[in-house]
Structure 1
């Protein structure tokens, strides 16, 4: 071998034809078109007749934007032996563990993630490595380490920073911005994974929330919050919160306020329906009971949000690629969103264009239109008719580079 050994390609060229386009903008599928990709971005969408003789024939597949998972933890460590094994990893081992998770996430059809609490700053190194083409993975927007109170939700892992008092929370925000965070995450209540708390336990004072949110906004960062009870969510919304994670116990009244203020919800429905996943990790009975027991109320909260017109966004919390109930965890989450009352076309929107808009990145990702990155997935069936079609994802492209092609239509293989 002679010459330099190249990094993984991060931008490619392609012409994709014979497809049914779900672009994330137009509600209905479009036929008779071809997608022209140059240097990683969609250059133009042209009539099929103009595709040229070298176009790749996708055989009538449905093509849509790559999924955007807004609640991802590459360093997740829940209570139990499985999580303990992750917590015990040395920094170098943790980086490799997270890189493998990023690779598997991309192959599952998730081309962009929002990380909402990762250990030790490894997410920033992982993002740089992916961008440089050293390792494969999705585009990463990250909150860095989440902020909690002393003993608060997630305090026992290195993916949080314990803060007490308004000044400490302001410093906590600045510390994550300094590290490179794109957004800030607050732990404002208890949850299902804290042994010495309840979902309904309020954990931050009004002054602490106000200091964190105002500081983040001053630095141009949105704020999302791990949150369960309606009362604490309502208070945080009044102070300017931008997004709610989980929302286990919303009320119609609080959902209406969320809709009026433009506060999004990432429902993570799968986490209260994840018994088999918990069994895989050896999660203790107290957490399983709390999680699965919260399921009916969690679903009711989600339906309140839909009825109020809240913008709901895809987020699995579980590793997106996890083999779960016959598909991946991210597809299972989307199926729960549809079963809970959101039409399949709305679920597609919640997994693509809506998250991109929240991230202020809809000029780059989330839709298939000229100027955007060529991040897309393809499958034989129509996901806008039934989101279960995503169980058949057989092609994944990121930045014009095919990273998975089960059918071999582009000459690449998974």
Structure 2
């Protein structure tokens, strides 16, 4: 017999007196109760049902699926003193640092993450530890180390793997899959954080992209790419790219191409509006200037994607739990998505059911329906009326286990 997990992985509970906001873009539903058994929503019943008797009263809170952050880095290290301190961590310290980041991420209401470049393989160990109940954190889907060319974007930290030539990139893909990667991340252009490059710098050849994408697809893995310029994105989309990260400089034509091919966009709008975060980390002036100067074009690019019907998905890039502009980075990203033209109901979908579908996990989480994981958040305000309501998140559950309940603490304090 194995030793019991240190943390509860599945819980059973009935939640009543709530207003249900599903992840499918529908309006809130009242008069319902969620019956949770062994970490899964067993049935949704009228709150007058005998099955709802003796449930936990949520006081009329709005309840929606937990957030899915599709651009996550637990080991992020940007240029500057803050990032240098992370890069200097040894493997044991790094693992503990990332475990703490995972715990904070979960408490911020993010119940699933897609990691898109982590250091030294620690993400695989962290995933195992969370799944075993050894540490608290969200469900992890990870790309392992991102693949870049020699000297390419992110080459100076070990969250990337330098590859060259079609054979090199094919081997790089296989190396991450052999470790347990759920997807593959490519660095196909320059970006904000590379001192000796520009956002518009193409970094992979057509043959390199084709080899990586076809190899990943052959192994049943989807591919996303750090990418800024339209021409580079267009070439990758034609080769079968499944998702674009950032997309700083899309055009209407390239956005239309993405929509036609079913290529999603994770816009990470907050990264070109993050001066306070950069100041916290001591990010050097050249990077701050590059980031802030890209902000207007980045927002225009996002609007081109919306107009073309590209599926957009939530991704913060910044640590989602970071206290930023009087909320968290993940909520601030959602607010930017709304302010950029996405209706609140569509923002909710982009943060819940749509990412689950991209990850191949449709039916497992991302909606509040029977058979789905009981991953959910609650708040007093109505997020369908304005996504800023998520600033009031005060209850987080993962797998039927309550991991945060601010209201319970308030009762005890009073």
TM range (shorter): over 0.9
- Do the aligned partners of residues 16 and 205 (structure 1) sit closer, same or farther apart at CA in structure 2, a change above 3 Å counting? same
1:397–1:412 CA distance, 2 compared to 1 (3 A): farther
Question: Contact (CA 8 Å) 1:404, 1:412: kept in 2 or not?
Answer: no
Give the CA deviation at 1:307. 0.3
Tell me the SS of whatever aligns to 1:186. Answer: strand
SS in 2 for 1:185: strand
CA distance in 1, matches of 2:353, 2:53: 32
Match of 1:264 in 2: 264
Whether 2:12 is the aligned partner of 1:13: answer yes
Are positions 1:351 and 2:362 aligned together? no
Distance 1:151 1:52 in 2: 59
Partner of 1:38 in structure 2?
37
1:200-244 per-residue CA deviation (whole Å, 9 max, x = no partner) reads: 000000000000000000000000000000000000000000000
Q: What are the residue-to-residue correspondences of 1:373-384 with 2, within 5 Å? A: 373-384=373-384
Structure-2 residue corresponding to 1:192: 192
The answer to whether the 8 Å contact 1:58/1:409 transfers is no
**1:101-140 residue pairs with structure 2 within 5 A?**
101-140=101-140
Query: Shift in Å at residue 143 of structure 1?
Result: 0.1
Partner of 2:294: 294
Q: 1:53 Cα deviation (Å)?
A: 3.0
Where do residues 20-169 of structure 1 align in structure 2 (5 Å cutoff)? 20-25=19-24, 27-50=26-49, 51-169=51-169
Q: How many residues align?
A: 410
Q: Distance in 1 between matches of 2:85 and 2:31?
A: 51
**What is aligned with 1:311?**
311
Task: Give yes or no for contact 1:166–1:208 (8 Å, CA) kept in 2.
Answer: yes
Secondary structure (helix, strand or coil) at the match of 1:248 reads strand
Asked if structure 1 preserves the Cα contact closer than 8 Å seen for 2:16 and 2:52, the reply is: no
- 1:87 CA drift (Å): 0.1
Q: What displacement does 1:26 show?
A: 5.5
- 1:408, distance to aligned residue in structure 2 (A): 1.1
Q: C-alpha separation between the residues in 2 aligned to 1:109 and 1:260?
A: 33
Give ranges in structure 1 of 5+ residues lacking alignment.
none
Corresponding position of 1:281: 281
Structure 2 counterpart of 1:176: 176
Q: CA deviation at 1:24?
A: 1.3
Contact 2:15 2:52 in 1 (8 A): no
* Deviation readout 1:118-142 (Å, 9 max, x if unpaired): 0000000000000100000000000
CA distance in 1 between partners of 2:141 and 2:128 (Å): 11
How far apart, in 1, do the equivalents of 2:107 and 2:283 lie? 27
Distance 1:409 1:221 in 2: 43
Normalised by the length of structure 1, the TM-score is: 0.97
Name the CA distance, whole Å, in 1 between partners of 2:64 and 2:412.
19
Match of 1:252 in 2: 252
How far residue 365 of structure 1 moved from its aligned partner, in angstroms, is: 1.1
Flag the 1:411–1:113 CA change in 2: closer, same or farther, 3 A. farther
Contact persistence 1:123–1:144 (CA under 8 A): yes
Residue aligned with 2:48, SS: helix
Cα offset for 1:54? Answer: 1.5
Segments ≥4 residues shifted beyond 2 Å: 409-413
State the SS of the aligned residue for 1:89: coil
Q: Distance in 2 between matches of 1:291 and 1:25?
A: 33
Q: Say whether the 8 Å CA contact 2:35–2:52 is kept in structure 1.
A: no
* CA offsets 1:383-414 (integer angstroms, 9 cap, x no match): 0110000000000000000000000199999x
Query: Match of 2:340?
Result: 340
Please state how far the C-alpha of 1:25 moved relative to its aligned partner: 2.6
TM-score, normalised with respect to structure 2:
0.97
Give the RMSD, CA atoms, in angstroms: 1.4
CA–CA distance in 2 between the matches of 1:14 and 1:5? 21
CA contact (8 A) 2:45 2:52 kept: no
- Give a deviation string over 1:276-328, Cα, whole Å, max 9, x none: 00000000000000000000000000000000000000000000000000000
